[in-house]
Structure 1
C-alpha cells in the first residue's frame, strides 16, 4: 500500500512538470524511509508536496512579472492609423537619463548616504530633456508615454533649461502627441512636501477626456519641480512641458515663480518672514498720586524688537499679530487705585485695588488682543495712589508678540 502511494505521488509530480513545460527533478526523502512507520512516511510526503506547491507558486509569479515587463500598448483610442512610435528616453540628448545625488552646493554624493537629504527626490532624479514635449511643438509623428518604463522621479528640461508641466489645458496635437497631459490642481509649495495631483488629457474639445492615473509632485529649492510619472491610461498620450514657464529657471533662490493666468510667468521676490521675537518689560521707579494720563516707564529691562519707547511710555506694534500685555500697581494709601490699559486710545483693561487702613495691596492684570501694525498701547493712572521706588518694580508694564498674523 505504501509503495503504491509513493508511485502515484511521483506520477503526479512528473505530470505537473509537463504541464508547466519545465524539466523538474525531485528526490523524495520518503523513498529512503522504507523501514520507518507508515505515519512518518505520510508526514514526509505531505511536507514534500507543500514544498512543491510553494516552488510552483514562485515560478508562476516570476513568469507573470516577466510578461508584464514587456513593453506594449494594446489600446488605441486615438487615430489608430497613425504609426505608434516608441518613446525613447534618449531622444534629443546624449545624457538624457541619469541620476543625481547631490546637495544644494552642487557636489555629487556617493549615493550611500541614508539621510533624509539623500532620499529627497529633489536631490535624486532623472533628467527628461525632450524638446518635443513643449506645449508649442506639433508633429505628425506622435509619441506615447505608455510605452515608457517610468521609474523614480524626473525633472523636466527644454534645451537644457528647467521647465515645468502646464497647469491649464493644452491644445490637442501638441507636445508631440495626440492628447497632451497637463497638471490639474497646480504645483505645490516647498512646505507642502510631496503631493498627489491629477493629470488630464485633452481630446474632442474636452480638456479632461482622458483621466490619466495621478502622479506625485514636489517643489524644490531653486524654483524647479520633480515628478513621479506613471504610465498613462492609453496611447497616444504624453506628459507636456509648458514653454511659458522657462522664465522660472531664471528666478533666484530669494524669488518665486508666479503666474496669475498660468500663461505668463514672472519672478517675484519672496516676502521676508517676521519672527515672533518682540518682548518688553519696563517699570516706573517712583510713587504716583492722582491722575497721570500716560505713565512713562523710564526703567527698561527688556526691549527686544525696540517696539517700546521709554521716552513716551508707548508701545507701537511693529507687525500685525496676536499680542499679550500685563501691567501692575501697588496701592500706597487708603481707597481705590485704578490703572487702565489703553489700546488705540480706548480703555480696554483695568488694574484695580482697594484697601482700608494701613494695608498695601498689589494687583497684576493681563490683556490679549489681535493688533494691526502701528497700533499703540500705553497705561494711564486714573485714580488713587501707587507706591514704588527704584528697586521695587511694583508699577510695571510689559508684553510680547505671540504670533504674526495677517489682518
Structure 2
C-alpha cells in the first residue's frame, strides 16, 4: 500500500514538472522509512502530498503574475473550434502601463514573407484565400483568437462564406471579430493605379481606437473590386485582422463600377467616370456651291473625326467633355457681293467669316474662335448670305476644331 502511494506521488511530481515546464527536485522522507510501522508511513506520505499541493499552488500564483506582465500567445496555429483561455487582454488589467510594457518587450517578427511572392508575381493573381466567418465585424468573442499565433506567409484575400470582403477602414468595437482587440486598416485602401502600398493597422481597446499600433501591412487593389493583403504577426495577443461585413456589396460591383462609401459604413457600387483625354479633333469640308441663306451647313466630306464628336449627317459638333476648344471655318466668295458665315454655339452667333468682293473676283476667308464649352454644347456653321463655292478637289468651305484641354466649367 505504501509503495503504491509513493508511486502515485512520484507520478504527480513528474506531471507537475511537465505541466509547468520546470524541473522539480523533491526528496521524499517516506523512501527512508521502511523500518517504521505502516500507519506512521502512511501519515508521512499524506503529509508529503499536502506539501506538494502547496508547492503547486505557489507555482500557479507565480505563473499568473507573469501572465499579467508579459504577453502570452500559443505557439501552435489556432483551431477556431477550440475555445482559448484569455491570458492577455482582460478588463481588470491596467491600461497604458501594460500596453507600453508589451510593446517594449515584444519580439520583432521578421521573416514572415514568402519567397514565392518576391519573384515578381502579381499578388492579385497569386494569393491565399482567408475565409473565416469569425473575422466578420458582427462576430462576437465567443471563441477568442489571436493572429499572433498564425504563420503568415505571402498575400491573402479576405472572404466571408465564399464572398469577397475587405478590411474595415473605421474603428471596430472591442470584443468583435472573434478577438479582444480588433485590427482595422488606418489610411484607407489604395486605388489600382497606386500599386502596392503600406498601411498602418490599429487595434481598439479601452475606448481608444488606435491604442494598439500593430505592425504595418502591405495592400494592393485588384481589378474586380477586391484587395489582397500581406499580413504580419500583430504585436501581442489577443488581436486579429477584421473583415468588414458591410463591404459584401462590393463583391457584386461590375468591372465598370467602383465600391465607394462616404461614412465607411454604408457601401455602394457606382459607375466609374469615363476619363476623356484631350484627344478630340475634327476637320470636314463642303465640296459644292452654296447660295443664299442656309441655316446649317452639312459638311459631307469628313477627313478627321477623332473622338467622334462631329456628326456628318447633321453638321453639328457636340462637346464630349467640358474644356477649352478652338474652331476654324472658311468660305470662298465668287461672283462679287457680300458673303457671311457665322459660327453658332448653342444658338448664339459668336464669330463671322465676312467677304465683300467687287467684280468677278474670288476671295477666300478663314476665321478662328477659341472658347470654353460645357459638356454637350452644340456648335455648327450657318451660311447667312452671299455665294460660296468649292469642288471635290478644293477645301474652300471647311469647318474644324480641337479640344485643347479638359477643364471643369
**Pairwise TM-score range, normalised by the shorter structure:** 0.5 to 0.7
Q: Which residue of 2 aligns with 1:86?
A: 74
Q: Which residue of 2 aligns with 1:348?
A: 350
Aligned partners of 1:334 and 1:356 also within 8 Å:
yes
Q: Which residue of 1 aligns with 2:400?
A: 398
Q: Please show how residues 216-235 of structure 1 align to structure 2 within 5 Å.
A: 216-235=218-237
In the alignment, structure 1 segments of 5+ residues that lack a partner are: 1-78, 94-98, 101-110
- The higher radius of gyration belongs to 2
Alpha-carbon distance in 2 for matches of 1:112, 1:167: 25
Q: Please show how residues 244-393 of structure 1 align to structure 2 within 5 Å.
A: 244-267=246-269, 280-288=282-290, 292-301=294-303, 307-310=309-312, 312-317=314-319, 320=322, 323-332=325-334, 338-351=340-353, 361-382=363-384, 386-393=388-395
Alpha-carbon distance in 1 for matches of 2:74, 2:133: 16
Deviates more, 1:350-359 or 1:244-253: 350-359
Aligned partners of 1:153 and 1:228 also within 8 Å:
yes
Secondary structure, counterpart of 1:122 in structure 2: coil
Aligned partners of 2:175 and 2:181 also within 8 Å:
yes
Counterpart among 205, 208, 213 of residue 206 in structure 1 = 208
Deviation at 1:402, TM superposition (A): 6.4
**Alignment CA distance shift 1:113-1:85 (3 Å):** closer
**Alignment CA distance shift 1:178-1:373 (3 Å):** same
In the alignment, structure 2 segments of 5+ residues that lack a partner are: 1-66, 82-112
**Alignment CA distance shift 1:403-1:203 (3 Å):** same
Deviation at 1:322, TM superposition (A): 5.3
Aligned partners of 1:248 and 1:265 also within 8 Å:
yes
Q: Please show how residues 120-159 of structure 1 align to structure 2 within 5 Å.
A: 120-139=122-141, 142-159=144-161
Aligned partners of 2:158 and 2:164 also within 8 Å:
yes
Alpha-carbon distance in 2 for matches of 1:406, 1:398: 23
Secondary structure, counterpart of 1:121 in structure 2: coil
Deviation at 1:155, TM superposition (A): 1.5
Counterpart among 156, 171, 175 of residue 169 in structure 1 = 171
Alpha-carbon distance in 2 for matches of 1:255, 1:290: 52
Deviates more, 1:349-358 or 1:231-240: 349-358
**Alignment CA distance shift 1:162-1:312 (3 Å):** closer
Secondary structure, counterpart of 1:391 in structure 2: coil
**Alignment CA distance shift 1:216-1:113 (3 Å):** closer
Alpha-carbon distance in 1 for matches of 2:77, 2:407: 48
Deviations 1:222-272 (A, max 9, x none): 322101223434443322111222343344545443444433444455566
- What TM-score, normalized to structure 1? 0.61
Alpha-carbon distance in 1 for matches of 2:375, 2:222: 33
Alpha-carbon distance in 2 for matches of 1:273, 1:143: 45
Deviation at 1:360, TM superposition (A): 5.0
Aligned partners of 1:84 and 1:143 also within 8 Å:
no
Q: CA RMSD in A?
A: 4.2
Alpha-carbon distance in 1 for matches of 2:240, 2:326: 56
